Amino acid sequence: MKHLEISGQAEPVASAPPLLSINELSVRFRTRSGIVNALDRVTFEVRPGEIVGVVGESGSGKSVTAFAVMGILDAAASITGGSIHFEGRDVLGMNRRERDMWRGSEASIIFQNPRVALNPIRKVGQQIADVLARHSPASPSAIRQSVLDALRQVRLPDPEKRQSAYPTELSGGQCQRVGIAMALACSPRLLIADEPTTGLDVTTQAVIMELIRDLARSRQLGTVFITHDLALAAQYCDRVVVMHAGHVVETAAVSELFSAARHPYTAKLLRSVPSLVDRLEELQAIEGSLPDLRRVDLPFCRFAERCERRISLCDSAPLSLAPIGPNHCVACRNPL
């Protein structure tokens, strides 16, 4: 692999108390065909001003983690263990009303498909006004002003005119800007971006990602950036959390993860990214697929059945994420 160049990091203070800390979070889904162990003891932290990338294949539990933090999991899901703390407050212990007020004003989410996430029959300005009105009592004129400010801040061209547009009248990139404006309207301190650029063109993607990064830096927003695109994570994140089949398998500073991955899965994932290799021959697929999470006999390490470095210890005892270097944790018995 070639020498890696990581751009755009202003080191967030590692010693600052975490804004969000997820500790041993486990989530299950009841389905007709059995219980799905979607998340198992997921643990990571986000500091103010830090962009944490959560990467993994589809089905690895990235979005479930985001939804669990926001409290918008499907009714079939239940949190079976662990805790989520926001500035020291127990998020899972909040009652419904507290959680509803917390969501939107202190923690916000940007969804994957902006066209689907927006209400198609309501003007985009009104949709932002709805969020503002719910969280802060203000006069209609103050809210109108805040809507314009929110749209200006995401650099939507001609906000006075565009605020009266319906989502169908805007391009995909413009819709996502509205989604970001809505998420940031009440000045939250935590932003979760769930694949915010999927379906957008690369040029638009670059603009949206730079916008998210600038806002995270200027407002000291703790940001969780969920993506399956490792190159994108490398370019815009400070730290990366790698997930596989509901487990966090590795967390590290972005430069370290991409230059010295320790978990066999991370290493394999990196070798399957087209932008990291020069020739097609160097590209490698990961054999096998994610284990069926409905299985009752799930192995301790859920990657073991696809792993070339499997040793007898892998199957003998439960595994948890352990430090292996400064700011670098890995869940593996036989790390690289």
Partner 1 sequence: MSPQPVLEAQDISKHFVLKGSGDLLGRNRPVLHAVDDVSLSIARGEAVGLVGESGCGKSTLARIISRLVDPTAGTLSMSGRSITDISSARFVRSDLRRKIQMVFQDPSDSVNPRFSVFDIIADPLRQLCRPATKAELVARVREAARAVNLAPELLDRFPHQLSGGQKARVGIARAMIVDPELLVLDEPTSALDVSVQATVLKLLARLTREANVALLFVSHDLNVVRLLCSRIFVMYLGRIVESGPTEEIFNRPRHPYTKALLSAVPTLRSGRTGERVKLEGEPRSPIDPDPLACRLVGRCPWQQQRCTAAEPELAACGPAHAVRCHFPLD
User: What is the binding site for partner 1 (CB under 8 A)?
Assistant: 2-6, 57-58, 157, 171-174, 201-207, 209, 228-232, 234-236, 258, 268-269, 272-280, 283-286, 289
Shortest Cβ 156–partner 1 spacing (Å): 11
Of 187 and 275, CB closest to partner 1? 275
Task: For residue 308, give the 3-state DSSP assignment.
Answer: coil
**DSSP string covering 186-232:** T--SEEEEESTTTTS-HHHHHHHHHHHHHHHHHTT-EEEEEES-HHH
Task: Return the DSSP state at 116.
Answer: H
| Cα gap 326→253, rounded to integer Å | 9
Q: Which is nearer to partner 1, 10 or 202 (CB)?
A: 202
The whole-angstrom separation of Cα 238 and Cα 7 is: 10
Nearer to partner 1, 157 or 325 (CB): 157
> In the complex, what is the shortest distance from the CB of residue 16 to partner 1, in angstroms, rounded to a whole number?
27
Tokens of 129: 């006004």
Residue 135's contacts (CB-CB under 8 Å, 6 or more residues apart) are 101, 104, 105, 186
Closest CB to partner 1 among 188 and 196? 196
Shortest separation between residue 255's beta carbon and partner 1, angstroms = 10
Q: DSSP alpha helices (H): ranges in 55-171?
A: 62-70, 96-105, 114-117, 124-135, 140-153, 159-162
In this structure, what token pair is assigned to residue 181? 């404006």
Dist. CA 270–CA 259, nearest whole Å: 10
Of 178, 241, 250, 186, residue with least CA distance to 211: 178
Q: Could you tell me the smallest distance in angstroms from the CB atom of residue 205 to partner 1? A: 7
State which residue, 102 or 265, has the beta carbon closest to partner 1.
265
Q: How far is the CB of 207 from partner 1 (least distance, A)?
A: 8
Query: Of 57 and 130, which has the nearer Cβ to partner 1?
Result: 57
Residue 262 CB, shortest distance to partner 1, in Å, is: 18
